[in-house]
Amino acid sequence: MTEPLPIPRGAAIGLIGCHACGLVVERPPPNAHCPRCGSLLHARKPESLSRAWACLVAAFILYIPANLLPVLHSTKLFEHWSDTIMSGVVSLWTDGSYDLAIIVFTASVVVPLLKMGALALLLIQVQRGSGYLPRERTRLYRVLEFIGQWSMLDVFAVALLIALVHFGTLADAKPGTGIVAFGAVVVLTMLATMSFDPRLIWDATRPPPRRATDRLPT
């Protein structure tokens, strides 16, 4: 039995998809614009890897102060204390709010770290030209896109807490500098994910060019 011919890729037959509206254009001239939305057409996102790495490295750097600096300053009567993300998780756990502690820990600590690690793995494999499990790596990228929006849970929780606890002189809550760093980490990881072009995963799986001496399958 002969092996079936590989399915032709869009780039091999001159098809380019618009990054803005998704329209597929056949054999556009250089520096052409999308006929539907007017965006400049590119076979791949320009500077995809360098932009993704820049945002990802910045996110890794800011991840440290985001977890070390206080995210919330609270005042109640004559008491004043500050909470980091981890101290807030510990406080929720000791108060018996186990479900909230698990949610905050997962969304604020585990998810951003796993997302940055997974995206770094995708970037390294693309730079090395690895063709290993391209379908699974593409699915991983789609998962990273989906869960990125939930990484802002800690920021929303602090904003909600400030709105609920702001009682003037009796009780007060103010955001700390850590929440700014955490928000920057979330935004940078989202920008890194958006900058990465998942089609680069499949570029390493291109079949070698057929030689003239190769026999066509019958």
Domain locations along the chain? 7-43, 47-203
Please report the pLDDT score of residue 90 as a whole number. Answer: 84
**Would you state the pLDDT for residue 214?**
39
| R_g of the chain computed on alpha carbons | 24
Which CATH number is 47-203 given? 1.20.140
Q: How far apart are CA 126 and CA 203, in angstroms?
A: 9
Share of the chain above pLDDT 90, in %: 12
Q: Is 56 or 151 the better-scoring residue by pLDDT?
A: 56
- Range with the largest mean pLDDT of 38-47, 54-63, 133-142: 54-63
Residue 114 identity: L
Tens of pLDDT, residues 127-145: 888 878 888 888 998 888 8
User: CA nearest 43: which of 84, 9, 70?
Assistant: 9
Does 50 or 205 have the greater pLDDT score?
A: 50
* CA distance to 21, 104, 112, 133, 144, per residue, from 139 (Å): 21, 25, 18, 10, 9
* pLDDT one-digit tens code per residue, 60-104: 999 999 888 888 777 776 777 777 878 878 877 888 878 878 877
In this structure, are residues 210 and 132 in contact, taking their beta carbons and an 8 Å threshold? Answer: no
Q: What is the pLDDT of residue 4?
A: 54
Q: Give the global pTM.
A: 0.75
